[in-house]
Structures are given as C-alpha cells and as structure tokens.
Amino acid sequence: MTLKIKDDNSLLKIIKRFWGEILNLTREEFLKKYNISEEEFREAGLPWEDLLEIARDYQNKIPRYDKIRRQFIAEFFMYREKETGLQSYRSRMKDPEHLLEKIIRKRKENYIKYRSLTKENYTKFVMDLIGVRGLLLYREDWVIFHKYLISHFQNDPRKYVKDCIKDYSDETDGCIVEPPKVHMRLGDYADIYFNWISRDNILDQKHYRSVHYIVKYEGVYIEIQIRTLFEEGWGEIDHHIIYPYKKDDPMLNEFSELLNRLSGMGDEMASFYKRLQVVPDQAFQRKDSVVNHKIMENKFDGDLNPVDLKKILTVHDAIKSVLNE
C-alpha cells in the first residue's frame, strides 16, 4: 500500500487513520494479517512495544518526509521525460504497517546487519521510506536514466554505506549510497548493463526484473526503482497477490512464473520492434508482397486468346481448346 496525498489536511487524516489502525491491532492480529509466525517474530528479537514506538515516531516524521519526496520529484523528475528516458514515474511514502512488517522480516532474514536497529535509529537502516518508481517503454532506455542519475548523484564506492550507523554522514548527501543493483531472471539479456554496473551486482537469480538505486537527499534515503511497463504490470500483480505473504503457495508461484515469462517476452518483442525502426524501407519485404509474388508466379506470360465457350460441348472440345492455346 502507498500513501496517496493531495494536501496537508489529507496527509494529517491519513496519518491518524494509519496510526489508529496500528493502535487497534493487537500483536496477534498484526502477525496474522502479515502471515508472520510466532517463531519468526521471536527470531526478529524486537519487542512489540518497540515496534509501536517506531510507528509512532514515523508518524511524526511523515509530514517532513513527504515534503522532501515532493521536492525531490520536482527537482529531478517533473517535466524531464527526455532527460531521464522515462515514459512515466510515480512516488510514495511507505505506510507504517508495512514499515513494521519490513523491520520484522529484515531482522529475521539478516539479523547480523539489522540487530542494531532500534526505535532511535531505524531510519538509518530502512532506506525505502520514500520510494520512486520510473517506467521505461524499452529496456534499452535504462542507459539514458542511468547516465542522468549519475550526473546528479555521485556514484563513488568510497561513499557506499556498509555500516548503517557508522557510515551515516551528511557528506553522503547528493550521493548514491549503495551499489546500483540489477535484478533479473536467469537467461535474461544483460549486456546493456555490463558497461555501467559491476557484474557482482547483476543478480540473475531473482524472481523479478528491476534496477534499484539508493540515493541520499536532504539527509534522507530514497529508493529508486527502474523497470519497463511490462515488468511493472507483472510486478504489481505479483506484489499484490504473492509478495511477501503468500510466497510459499505453489499454485500462485507457478502462475507468477508464467506471467513473469510472458512479461519478459513482451520486453523482447518491444525491443525488437524498436530496432525495426532503423531498417530501411527498401530492405523490408512486406508480407503482402510475398503473397503478390506467388500470385504472379501462377500467371501466364503473354496475352490469352478469348475462347468461345459455345463451341466447347464435350470434354474432347475442352482439351482441344487448351492445346490450341
């Protein structure tokens, strides 16, 4: 779910609604809603009361973060379609419930990295409180966006965040703070990324296709995801139905795999269609020209003499008429 905000009054109403929902949820109701077992919750090692404190703190930060989100979009995305290579874009604020769910999941999956996360420093660990998604018509247009982004945000590996607490610094403002990562399926065409992104960060064992960046702007981390329209269509359906609460359902996963392959084929066809634009007209043979050629092959050379059908009374007359021709 994303926060759709029209104005400050709408924002305050949304904050109160989400905070009220979380306060009204018991721990058991929350775990059931997000398909988290009691064992998984214990493995995360964060008391429910601390999670509620994080939600309360995030509620207070949302107005400031949303102002930064709108400023970021206005500065780098609005009316910049040609510069960015994007067909469209959208942005969102992470809602409080999904923030808590992500913290539980991340501490369980990678406790070593997230064990120091507390209600005082969670914004240094969770880097997608503000999210932007850019959509491409063609996969190859990603290069345009990548060049655009690194022209505005320094991509210096020395400023990548390795320790979420120690490496948090004002000096990283205006920087890409993690290596850009390409998420793709095994067998996908990856050559367009090799000149720009380390092969170590081209991950071809993923279930989805997208390029991810984390930038730091006005002291806040912002996640940028770039994908094609076909990838977006599949990704939205998959995220709505499967991720992350039904990822163990074999039937839904099989359907998702099929839809994923179809979206990949759509991208390949779109790229091929784009390349056809540069084929000279005289080098392209229309399909109707092939049909016409076959029709012409069946025609006789020269003019045919008219035949008086009244004179053809028997089979013998018909054969004789053909032989005369």
Between residues 320 and 58, the one the model is more confident about: 58
Judged by phi (left if over 0) then psi (alpha if -120 to 50, else beta), residue 174 lies in left
pLDDT tens-digit map of 193-219: 999 999 999 987 766 789 999 999 999
Between residues 297 and 78, the one the model is more confident about: 78
Q: List 217's β-bridge partners, or say none.
A: 220
Percentage of residues of the chain with pLDDT beyond 90: 52
Is the pLDDT at 317 greater than 70? The verdict is no
pLDDT of residue 315: 53
DSSP one-letter code for 7: S
CA distances (Å), 146 to each of 51, 134, 189, 196, 231, in order? 36, 11, 17, 8, 18
CB 158 within 8 A of CB 134: no
pLDDT of residue 309: 56
What's the mean pLDDT when you consider all of the chain?
82
Task: Report residue 87's pLDDT band, with 50, 70 and 90 as the boundaries.
Answer: very high
Q: What is the pTM of this model?
A: 0.76
Question: Which DSSP string corresponds to 255-287?
Answer: HHHHHHHHHHHHHHHHHHHHHGGGS-GGG---H
Residues present in the chain in total: 325
Secondary structure (3-state) at 184: coil
Q: Which residue bears the tokens 């206005």?
A: 74
Is the pLDDT at 130 greater than 60? The verdict is yes
Secondary structure (3-state) at 166: coil
Q: List 60's β-bridge partners, or say none.
A: none
CB atoms within 10 A of CB 33: 12
**Torsion angles phi and psi, residue 207, rounded to 5:** -95, -5
Is the pLDDT at 2 greater than 50? The verdict is no
Mean pLDDT of 158-185: 92
